Amino acid sequence: MQPIDHVVLNFSPNAVLAMNIILGIVMFGVALDMKVTDFDNIRKFPRSVGVGLVAQFLLLPAFTFLLILALDPIPSMAMGMLLVAACPGGNISNFLTHFAKGNTALSVCMSAISTLFAIFMTPFNFAFWGSYHPEVAKILQEISISPLDMAITILCILGIPLVLGLFISGKYPRVSARLKQPMKIFSIVIFITFVLLAMVANWSAFIEYISWVFVLVLLHNAVALTTGYCGATLLGVPNKDRKAITIEVGIQNSALGLTIIFTFFQKLGGMAIIACWWGIWHIIAGLSLAYFWARKEKQ
């Protein structure tokens, strides 16, 4: 059995390009469900938006780094944890917030803003915190990945599709309405495909390390959810806003993480396994928490 840090994903350049294009299409479909006016909610919930973004882009990466120091995972898994923590909120967060009877408008607003911020903050956080971990820093130097290259990739697969989707939803609402449902189905299929690709490419290593990966992702996701909840609670935001912030911070865009891994880190299978299992686990944890909150509201 090869050490997991040396498991190669072996995707051709054309396959990686196709994944980038497909994720861009998925992001376009997500944006069709948004409106430019969603950004106006910053004025309605300024404190809640601020708390959520600080928890998402400042606190979560910092706490993830501390968790890595405490657990001392192998370097590629540490890199996977840092990358997931640096990603924006996941697409399913809006549905989960609605299911939990939280502030869905705030959730949509945070998703839109965090997606735009991710163009700069994702490569910055990954490079910044990675530089403080000696083994991770060494790998990053050997691979020589430029944060600017990563930012350009994120701009292409998140930023541009988001702007185009917002334009279509605002200018051509009928076209947007027709495309929404097919794009949602497409998004689910593509996400499952991403996860399966990562699992198949790393199956033997996944089976060998599943218990360790399970613990890492379980604790990491718990840290993410707790960061959102405690930050919102300490600053006294309303209960519905607290639910939205908790879910936004706890549900990360692991599909973006996998795409970045396929593009830049094909020699680090441990990263893919972390992002892959996170994509499965955060849905389980998010649905469980949303169900608990929804039941609590009925009592």
pLDDT band at 51 (very low <50, low <70, confident <90, very high): very high
Distance between CA 45 and CA 105 in Å, rounded?
Answer: 9
> To which residue do tokens 């059995």 refer?
1
Whether residue 4 is predicted with pLDDT greater than 70 in this model: the reply is no
Taking the C-alpha atoms of residue 186 and residue 226, their distance in angstroms, rounded to an integer, is 31
- Which tens digit of pLDDT belongs to each residue from 89-125? 877 888 888 888 888 888 888 888 888 889 899 999 9
Backbone φ and ψ of 100, nearest 5°: -80, 0
pLDDT at 180 over 50: yes
* Cβ contacts of 292 within 8 Å, gap of 6 or more: none
Lowest mean pLDDT among 116-120, 223-227, 228-232: 116-120
Q: pLDDT at residue 202 above 70?
A: no
* Average pLDDT over every residue of 265-280: 83
Domain of residue 15 covers 4-298
In order, the DSSP letters of 45-113 are: SHHHHHHHHHIIIIIHHHHHHHHHHHH---HHHHHHHHHHHHS-B-TTHHHHHHHTT--HHHHHHHHHH
CA quadruple 238, 67, 62, 148: dihedral positive or negative? negative
Check residues 225 and 17 and name the one with the higher pLDDT.
Answer: 225
Higher pLDDT, residue 10 or 259: 259
CATH number at residue 233: 1.20.1530.20
Q: How many domains does the chain have?
A: 1
pLDDT of residue 220: 97
Q: CB–CB of 176/168 below 8 Å?
A: yes
Name the pTM for this structure. 0.86
Write out pLDDT tens, residues 125-156: 999 999 999 999 988 888 777 778 888 888 88
pLDDT value for 1: 40
The Cα–Cα gap between 117 and 201 comes to: 31
Query: Which single residue is written with the structure tokens 């033997």?
Result: 204
